[in-house]
Amino acid sequence: MPGAPAAPAVPAVIGATPEHAPGIHDAEVEQLFGAGGPLGPAVGDFRPRRSQTEMAKAVADAIANQTTLIAEAGTGTGKTFAYLVPALLWGGKTIVSTGTKNLQDQLFLRDIPNVRAALKAPVSIALLKGRSNYVCHYHLERTLQNGRMTSRDDVGHLREISRFLKMTSSGDKAELARVPENALVWNLVTSTRENCMGQECQYYQDCFVMKARKEAQQADVVVVNHHLFFADVALKDSGVAELLPSANTIIFDEAHQLPDTATLFFGDTFSTSHILELCRDVLAEGLSNARDGADWGKTVTVVEKAARDLRLTFPQDIVRLSLPQIAPSSEFFPALQHLKDELDGMLAVLETQAMRAETLEQCRQRGLELAEKLAAWKFDPKAKVNKGEEAVYWVEAYASSLQLHKTPLSIAPIFSGQREGVPRSWIFTSATLAVKNDFSHFSEQMGLADEPSRTWPSPFNYEEQGILYVPQGLPDPNSMGYTDAVLDLALPIIEAAGGKTFLLCTTLRAVKRAAERLRDEFEKRGLPYPLFIQGDRGRTELLDQFRKAGNGVLVGSQSFWEGVDVRGDALSLVIIDKLPFAPPDDPVLAARIEVMEKQGKNGFMHHTLPEAIINLKQGAGRLIRDVNDKGVLMLCDPRVISKPYGRRIWQSLPSFKRTREATEVLEFFKKLNQPPAETS
């Protein structure tokens, strides 16, 4: 999307440049966020909130002094405006990083333009996404010429994309709603770091990726997402690295996602599917450009077979094992060595032919990168990575591929290294960063242990607006038939609510079972509630249909626990089946806990429990999204009551009225659903 034009100059009363930052006064912030301030007329539903004003003062102070701030702001605080106003007025060059592309688009298209217009701030803004979000002229043309579409949908989608290319100024696939974001055809018409032709490309001057990066270079405020930010730190491929030196202010919204995102990118992953993709390209390019140079069929077949044989060393469909859990006598190790040898053989052939075509040289470079990753996956579980920090080596098997992961046990030293150098302000904000006002879990993960942290409560009146209900009589959450036991207790409550329900599950298996059971029960009882199941359609489409239905029941797992905003009457019951503890077979979690235990810490209390509480707070946050919302949070896990740690969970949740009696909940919905009394 193009960088937006600058707005009229800001009033003289408000300092507009970073040089004026040390002179920021709390009175200025009070004026901006006050009842007679500029935000009210520009934003229809804006109203002054004490928490928002105080957070804005803290952000302004961090910007003025080029310091770090960890800021937790409860739902409804208005944290987006609380950081945008100081950033647009005093932040200089600012990078705003968000948790999702949806929030990224919302900031760029709505929130920042609204605040900018209200403040009359002379700042330009730009949107920067990963290259897979932009149509590639070269790959679109190649696909149109020789692409063999596997379905009629793909043919139609390709036609839409071709038409879109002629009209778009950004090339951002988010603008083309008629082609689903997850349509397979996008893989054929976008570039990757490996197959981008760079300056050799005939379309380089028109390239949407390059255009977006150039606009980001020139803009005052650049909106990115966490994946892009950390991918760049790891791969230097997103354009963020070029922005960092000139940035005065970096803001991470939805910052609770940072530890997982950073871990993903600071680690390393090798996949047999990457080998198979390379083999397909080597065969196609070899036959096109150097048919007489080698027996290309034989060259790639032996590598493909070695990759598939490696996957077959684990007979199960889904496997997650750390290196020490793989038996030394396993066929895995010789199969891994065999794949290395065969890949080296293919690289030797490419070495002799690469000069015959740019695309063959690209294949050789991709092969060398894969060989490096394979070689780096050592057989020694005590191998070290950055700054002496230990890594865990583990394998993950899917139906048709095997992934080898090297994951750092802590990203703190790596991220701390990224923050060194030029002084600037770093703002980390989310509705869920603390556990009962304790930020140590997040701070230690990110290497921010000595940095200031603040929390501002939600302006919502939770005691009046909702009930937290923990039902009685549930079995142990790990017992057989637990999901059915939850539904036995949930069905009368769903009926009392008139649908209008989110059922949030911790596993996909529970989603599937709940969907089957609810379908049967609704039919048997003649209940008219539309059922929306994660996976049936895309998340955005499911949510739109849920809102429109007004009495729907949506069943989902992790992707619906956060970043979902349903205000008003369409949602008045959120049911959570279990406490969201990480799966016990997670090799990285197991390794982290082992290190903590060696340090004399309790791994469960220091890591597993805080992580679950932050996730639970996200899920609970789906219920009350507005001052007029009312509803029930039904938390079905009996461990909240029976276990000693339950009290810590209980105290971290919003201050709803608490109950264990179903009758209180039924009475609440009876009153809620009564039609308003007629006035004479």
Give the tens place of pLDDT for each residue, 563-579: 888 888 899 999 999 99
499 and 628 together in one domain: yes
- Burial, 322: exposed, middle or buried (Cβ in 10 Å; 0-12, 13-18, 19+)? buried
CA-based nearest residue to 94, from 429, 428, 453, 424: 424
Say if 592 falls within a structural domain.
Answer: no
Residue 329, domain CATH:
1.20.120
The C-alpha torsion from 338 through 340 and 343 to 345, rounded to 10°, is -70
**CB 574, CB 466: distance < 8 Å:** no
343 and 429 together in one domain: no
376 and 473 together in one domain: no
Amino acid at 62: A
User: What is the average per-residue pLDDT within 363-373?
Assistant: 92
Show the tokens assigned to 439. Answer: 């930020």
74 and 151 together in one domain: no
Vertex 521 angle, CA 667 and 566, to 5°: 60
639 and 526 together in one domain: yes
Q: What are the DSSP calls for 8-60, one per residue?
A: SPPPTTS--SGGGGGG--HHHHHHHHSTTSSHHHHSTT----HHHHHHHHHHH
657 and 508 together in one domain: yes
Question: Where is the domain boundary, 186, 208, 230?
Answer: 208
Give the tens place of pLDDT for each residue, 472-508: 999 999 999 999 999 999 999 999 999 999 999 999 9
275 and 358 together in one domain: yes
Say if 597 falls within a structural domain.
Answer: no
139 and 108 together in one domain: no
Question: Where is the domain boundary, 185, 208, 231?
Answer: 208
For the chain, the distance separating the N- and C-terminal CA atoms, rounded to the nearest angstrom, is 55
Say if 408 falls within a structural domain.
Answer: no
Weakest-pLDDT range from 38-47, 218-227, 394-403 = 38-47
Q: Which residues does 75 contact at the CB level (< 8 Å), separation at least 6? A: 431, 458, 460, 621, 624, 625
Q: If you count them, how many residues does the chain have?
A: 680
Neighbours of 602 (CB within 10 A): 12
Give the count of domains, the chain: 4
Helix (H/G/I), strand (E/B), else coil: 427: strand
Say if 109 falls within a structural domain.
Answer: yes
Say if 290 falls within a structural domain.
Answer: yes
57 and 199 together in one domain: no
Weakest-pLDDT range from 208-212, 380-384, 573-577 = 380-384
Q: What are the DSSP calls for 261-320, one per residue?
A: HHHHHHSEEEEHHHHHHHHHHHHHHHHHH-TTTS-HHHHHHHHHHHHHHHHTTS-SSSEE
378 and 522 together in one domain: no
Q: Which residues does 172 contact at the CB level (< 8 Å), separation at least 6? A: 1, 127, 129, 133, 134, 208, 212
> β-strands 631-635, 531-533: how paired?
unpaired
Residue with tokens 């919204």: 253
452 and 466 together in one domain: no
State yes or no: pLDDT of 382 exceeds 60: no
Residue 241's domain comprises 18-124+219-262+413-456
Show the tokens assigned to 36. Answer: 């007679």
**CB 403, CB 395: distance < 8 Å:** yes
User: Residue 319: pLDDT band by 50, 70, 90 thresholds?
Assistant: confident
Residue 663, domain CATH:
3.40.50.300
Say if 677 falls within a structural domain.
Answer: no
**CB 158, CB 186: distance < 8 Å:** no
Amino acid at 410: S
* Confidence (pLDDT) at 335: 94
Say if 437 falls within a structural domain.
Answer: yes
Q: Give the helix/strand (H/E) hosting 321.
A: strand 319-322
* Distance in angstroms (rounded) separating the CA atoms of residues 170 and 257: 28
- 146's torsion region: left (phi>0), alpha (psi -120 to 50) or beta? alpha
Say if 606 falls within a structural domain.
Answer: no
* Confidence (pLDDT) at 400: 85
110 and 143 together in one domain: no
* Confidence (pLDDT) at 677: 58
